[in-house]
Amino acid sequence: MVTCRVLFCSILLLGITAALTSSPVYGQQNSKRFSLKLAQVSVLDALREINRLSDNSVVFKKEEVEKETVKVTVDLNNVTTLQAVQACIKNTNLECRELNGKVVVGPKKAPVSITITGTVKDKEGQPLPGATVVVAGDSLHLGTSTTIDGTYTLTVPSAVKSLIYSFIGYKSQSVVIGNRTVINVVLEEDVKEVEEVVVTGMFTRKANTYAGSAVTLTSKDIVRTGSSNLFQSLKNLDPALFIMDNLDMGSNPNSLPQMQMRGVSSFPIEETGIQLKGNYQNNPNQPLFILDGFNTTVERVMDMDMNRIESVTLLKDAAAKAIYGSKAANGVVVITTKRVTGTQQLVTYTGSVDIEMPDLTSYNLCNAAEKLEAERIDGMYDYKNMDEEIRYSQLYEERKQLIAAGLDTYWLSKPLRTGVGHKHNLSVQLGDQNLQALFSLTYNQVKGVMKGSDRRNIIGEIDLSYRKDNLLFRNNASITSNKSNDSPYGAFSKYAQMNPYWRAKDPDTGEVARWAYTGQGASVANPMYDAEIGTLYQQSYVEFVNNFEIEWRPIQALILRGGITLGLKRNDGDEFLPATHSSFADINKYSSTEDQLRKGSYRIDEGKSSTISANINATYSATFADRHNIFLNFRTEIGEDKSQAYVFQAEGFPNNQIADITFARQYAKDSRPYGSSSWNRNLSFVLAGGYNFDNRYLLDFSAREDASSLYGNDNRWALGWSLALGWNLHNEKFFKNDIVQQFKLRASIGVTGNQNFYNNEAVATYEYYTTDNYLGMTGAQVARMANPQLKGEQKKDYNVGFDAIIYKANIRFDYYWADTKNMLTDVSVSTSTGFSTVKDNLGLVRNQGIEAYLTYSVFQTNKGFLQLFGSLTTTTNKIIRLSESMKTYNALRDKMAADKGNNKPVTKYVDGESMNTIWAVRSLGIDPQTGNEVYVKRNGELTYTYDENDQVPAGNSLEKYRGTFGFNAEYKGFGLSTTFRYATGYQKYNSTLVERVENVDMNYNVDKRALYGRWKEPGQVAQFKRLGTFQYDGDAQAYQEKTRPTTRFVQDESLLTWGALNVYYEFQPDVLKSLRMSRLKISFNMNDIATFSSVKVERGYSYPFARTMSFSLIGSF
């Protein structure tokens, strides 16, 4: 028994000893060194060779190693097994580690990720929605943003050491992750705010080191000052972009705005005869519009959804706009839309009810009794012939009795309504750290104040972006469907001239009457009837735009981009006037049977256009030695624009049931199908750069070379350039103080150009003889003379200014002047050429002015703020030099002025005068003894005879002083802001006094001043001529002797408009949490609330102005 026990203990002891000594033994095996030389062998064979040399110390699975296709070539001496294995699997998806004396080989494991959650709040404990959380260094491009209650969730690789938290107006904070998965951060307010940037459409620059003159407007600014479209907001935000009130088209939703930046510098383009409905061309003084880096049109900007806009940047001086070269003379408007940020999944709905109410406060028409009295004084019922005297006396008594019975039709209200439209947008934001997507659908129905006028837009947009390491792919595709209708009630001016003692409806049937008046051998058509018979004024377009971009960042300082854009558009217009339309009511014009069959007309407009462009862009930005900051950008772009337009007019439609052009009897009299086409190509190279030393001394430069088929063969290329200097005084030690937080001086000079003219101005244009032939062959003639020397206009800009933040005031000031030369105009040529004029580059025009902006922060806390703001711009325009050929143009204008039927000032261009000068004959007013106007001739003599040769500069219609003022306030989610616009220091020709008071046709309604303000008897001091001054010279068909343009109607104007009012409430996080929403905002907007003017003039001749009101809701889930 003892022997067995001893034997058992001995065996056990031996086993324990072997176990304890096994590791050192294996370790010795693994530490064995050897040499290994392999050439182009598989990984599997390499590991087998190592096993042979190391006594099978490598452990692996054959099926895992066989997957590797890498060939191994090594030459190793005196290495361990581990070192040999590491060298052989270096470029594979395998990894190795030591385990119990063996080297174990297997597939690489995916990196371990951690999910971090937390909150971002301010020092008061209030959450900061939209705060940014990103990985420090940004090498992985990982990040997210906080929700409405300040919470966030971010998944990062375990190797990430720290995160950076930032929010606008607060200091950024870097936080080390350590072993934490929950990180709550409190950010401190930054008095200096986060650095602003300037978005140029090609690149982005830091505002504090940028020497150009540019103004950036945020999405908050835009929605605060307007609700209908972007132009409505811009009108209230920056007076430097002057968006003019259209006194003719008023608030017509289908009328595009006219605008200019820093004055007029180009002659207006003359009409070509091709006025395509549903299609709009740029005017020569219009700024260039850039949408997300690509050129766009005014129409697309007007129809786009305002809620999709992130910012708008106005590039004003040469330093800012010269990167757009020959297209930038009139300034540049850069629009950036919102992009997907972070990884938050978000669904947002924006809806509004938009109300338009007609504004008729500028109209001052006679009522029925006043109009009848004006007719009596004018002598309408006085005739020497006894029969006529009796007949018209009876007519006077009949009208008097009707008025006494209560007939007083207010015609202005007949075609009007309160337009109620609505707008909806649904956007869905999806994405993760690599793939992000935004889907947006917008429906906008605008109802104008004239019955039947509307504009409907449906916009679908898909924005996709994908990031792979240092590559970013982005594609934005949008399609817009537009359909608009003009009012079938016709021009509003027709209703303004209707006599109030005429009936709009038949008193017996209550139906709209065909004729407003019949009797005395004449009939007056009722304009309301046109809306009852199927009249059609309709336009539509469909536009597709696709922008593709690719971005590669090989190193942190260098960004390479490439992009291509494709735009396709098709537009149509239809105008149908039935045979019973008032346009065909003239008995004299349609008296014969043949002419009767011509009644009824149909017009079709068709157009299509395409745009394609591609660009390559390289941006380099780096800092050396912590003081030298360098920025360089190179870009090349190539593009092509094509367009075609056709017009078909037909006539002869017996009734309104066959509103189809195929039922027309014939083409319109003396007309045939016509159209136009253009095909423009361009190529450009751009170099822009900047340098600043220690954020104190700034230097910016740019150069752009443009080639365009718009220019003549001998001048294909145009050079634009700029140079700017800046000085950040606030960064100088001798200037630093607690009061002045920023003071930057700026100065720039540069040259830009203008391409807003038609493509056939430089080349010879031919047209066929379509009515004649010779032996069956058709000939052609030169319709436009070629000019191979034609080139683009050039504008040389100078600008000096400063940006300052002093205490609580933010101040911006600019003084500028610009000389425009090579303006496109008609030049007289010898008639032996077969032409009287040819397009050429002549003249020099100078614009200069001042822009000043002030924003004062009364208080700003985490609970709210109050800001006061104001702006002032001044502009002057002067023609420095014009050619002798302009005398021919002015002579033609003088010929127009000599026409006795002309009652409007003609436009003339004279050296030393403004392009906005109003030309009129001097007047001393109305002679109290005779009631006639007293004119002053050039030599100072007085006369009663009007002579167009006595015209002198009587005023300037350019608003010399223009600006805005108002305030913005918010407290605990409640917001209130308002904006006023003002203008003064200019003159207006009061056409209302001429057309509604003096040059009145007493057969129609007139302004009340025609009755109460006109001369009646000798000795009376009156502002207006006596009634009954029209002279026919015995010929019933001759022109009436009308009141002509005189200084009596050139009046000084001062204008004040209450432009915008905005009230809103942003729901707080605790409410949103209970509603399970991330954002909820309700708001109320009003625009063009009231207008006060020192000149009483009718506004909205063809379409009235309107006050707009909007109730909106924004909700995010």
Distance in angstroms (rounded) separating the CA atoms of residues 619 and 119: 36
| CA distance linking residue 695 with residue 630, whole number of Å | 11
Check residue 730 and give its pLDDT: 92
pLDDT of residue 715: 77
132-135 and 162-166 as β-strands: parallel, antiparallel, unpaired?
A: antiparallel
Complete DSSP assignment for 764-815: -EEEE-SS--BTTB--EEEEE---TT---EEEEEEEEEEEEEETTEEEEEEE
Residue 907: both structure tokens together: 């436009």
Q: Is residue 970 predicted with pLDDT exceeding 90?
A: yes
According to DSSP, the residues that pair with 867 across neighbouring strands are 857, 968
pLDDT for 588: 76
| pLDDT at residue 193, rounded to an integer | 46
pLDDT in tens, 142-175: 778 887 678 888 888 877 888 999 887 778 888 9
- Please give the pLDDT value at position 925: 92
Q: What is the DSSP string of 260-297?
A: EESS--SPPPPP-S---TT--PPPTTPPEEEETTEEE-
pLDDT surpasses 50 at 12: no
The predicted model gives 360-378 an average pLDDT of: 92
Domains of the chain (ranges; CATH) run 29-107 (3.55.50.30), 113-187 (2.60.40.1120), 214-341 (2.170.130.10), 342-365+413-510+524-532 (no CATH), 368-411 (no CATH)
- Judge whether residue 899 has pLDDT over 90: no
C-alpha separations of 752 from 331, 335, 356 in Å: 9, 20, 40
Cα 184 versus chain centre, distance: 42
Q: What is the DSSP string of 475-503?
A: EEEEEEEEEEE--TT--HHHHHTS-TTS-
The residue-averaged pLDDT of 570-599 equals 87
Confidence of residue 382 (pLDDT cuts 50, 70, 90): confident
Nearest residue to 670 (alpha-carbon basis) of 649, 655, 685, 691: 649
Give me the pLDDT at residue 771, please. 74
- The dihedrals phi and psi of 233, each to the nearest 5 degrees, come to -75, -45
Is the model's pLDDT at 698 over the cut of 70?
yes
Does the structure show a pLDDT above 60 at 345? yes
Arithmetic mean of pLDDT, 987-1004: 89
Question: How many Cβ atoms are within 10 Å of 82's Cβ, its own excluded?
Answer: 18
Pairing of strands 780-784, 765-768: antiparallel
Arithmetic mean of pLDDT, 599-620: 94
Question: CA separation (Å) from 454 to 252, 255, 451, 726?
Answer: 9, 11, 9, 49
Residue 754 has pLDDT above 80, yes or no: yes
- Whether 168 contacts 128, CB under 8 Å: no
Share of the chain above pLDDT 90, in %: 50
Six token digits for residue 704: 């752009």
Per-residue pLDDT tens for 44-94?
999 999 998 888 889 999 888 998 888 999 999 999 999 999 999 988 889
Q: According to the 3-state scheme, what is the secondary structure of 453-478?
A: CEEEEEEEEEEEEEEECCEEEEEEEE
Decide: 560 and 554 in contact? Cβ < 8 Å.
Answer: yes
Q: Does pLDDT of 4 surpass 50?
A: no
Give the Cα separation of 214 and 324 in Å (integer).
14
In this structure, of 480-484, 502-506, 520-524, 960-964, the range with the lowest mean pLDDT score is 520-524
Work out the burial of residue 584: count CB atoms within 10 Å of its CB; fewer than 13 is exposed, 13-18 middle, 19 or more buried.
Answer: buried
Is the pLDDT confidence value at 16 over 80? no
Mean pLDDT of the chain: 86
Per the DSSP assignment, residues forming a β-bridge with 866 are: 859, 969
Q: What is the mean pLDDT of residues 983-992?
A: 93
- The number of helix segments (H) and strand segments (E) in the chain equals 16, 52
* Mean pLDDT, residues 927-934 taken together: 89
CA distance linking residue 651 with residue 38, whole number of Å: 92
Residue 429 DSSP class? E
Once rounded to an integer, what is the mean pLDDT over residues 95-101? 86
Write out 521-541 in H/E/C secondary structure.
CEEEECHHHHHHCCCEEEEEE
196-214 in b/e form (b: 16+ CB < 10 A) is eebbbbbbebbbbbbbbbb
The confidence score (pLDDT) of residue 822 equals 76
Distance CA 636, CA 707 (A): 12
- Whether pLDDT at 942 is above 90: yes
Distance CA 595, CA 668 (A): 11
Q: What is the pLDDT of residue 1027?
A: 66
Closest to 317 (Cα-Cα) out of 880, 844, 726 = 726
Structure tokens at 447: 């109802």
Assign 110 a pLDDT band (cuts: 50, 70, 90): low
The answer, yes or no, to whether residue 38 has pLDDT greater than 80, is yes
Question: What is the structure's pLDDT at 829?
Answer: 55
Q: Which residue in 1009, 1002, 999 sits closest to 1043, CA to CA?
A: 999
Nearest to 242 by CA among 795, 849, 769, 1105: 849
pLDDT-derived band at 1033 (thresholds 50, 70, 90) equals: very low
Binning pLDDT at 50, 70 and 90, where does residue 282 land?
A: low
Residue 1009 burial (CB count, 10 A)? 18
What is the per-residue pLDDT across 786-836, written as a single tens digit (0 to 9) for each? 777 677 788 999 999 999 999 999 999 999 999 988 776 665 555 555 555
Residue 895 has pLDDT above 90, yes or no: no
Q: What is the pLDDT of residue 1010?
A: 85
230, pLDDT greater than 80: yes
Per-residue confidence (pLDDT) for residue 1039, from 0 to 100: 40
Could you tell me which residue, 15 or 512, shows the higher pLDDT? 512
Tell me the H-state helices in 35-93: 43-53, 62-65, 81-88
The per-residue pLDDT for 794 is: 86
pLDDT band (50, 70, 90) for residue 762? low
Tens digits of residue pLDDT in 247-276: 899 999 999 998 999 988 776 654 333 344
Query: Could you tell me the strand order of the sheet in which 332-337 lies?
Result: 214-218, 309-315, 332-337, 288-291, 294-296
Least confident of 158-162, 299-303, 469-473, 811-815: 158-162
- The alpha carbon of 144 is separated from its chain's Cα centroid by a whole number of angstroms, namely 31
Would you say residue 652 has pLDDT above 70?
yes
- pLDDT at position 293 over 90: no
> What six digits make up the tokens of 397?
């008594």
Q: Residues near 158 by Cβ (< 8 Å), separated by ≥ 6? A: 111, 112, 113, 114
Give the per-residue pLDDT at 745.
Answer: 97
Question: Between the CA of residue 899 and those of 427, 559, 581, 896, 951, what are the distances in Å?
Answer: 59, 64, 31, 5, 14
Is 139 a residue whose pLDDT tops 60? Answer: no
List the one residue out of 421, 60, 512 whose CA is nearest residue 227: 421
Q: Report the pLDDT averaged over residues 849-853.
A: 96
What is the bridge-based pairing of β-strands 628-651 and 917-926? unpaired
> What's residue 7's pLDDT?
37
Instruction: Record the tokens describing residue 581, joined without a space.
Output: 């339309």
Segments in 154-229 forming alpha helices (H) = 219-224
Number of Cβ within 10 Å of residue 513's Cβ equals: 20
- The CA-atom distances, in angstroms, between 615 and each of 485, 507, 565, 600 are 38, 69, 9, 51
- Work out the angle at residue 809's Cα, subtended by the Cα atoms of residues 805 and 812, and round it to the nearest 5 degrees: 60
Q: Which two tokens stand for residue 884?
A: 């002798």
Residues 6+ apart with CB under 8 A from 177: 114, 116, 156, 160, 161, 162, 163, 183
Mean pLDDT score, 364-377: 92
Q: Would you say 577 and 559 are in contact if contact means Cβ atoms under 8 Å apart?
A: no
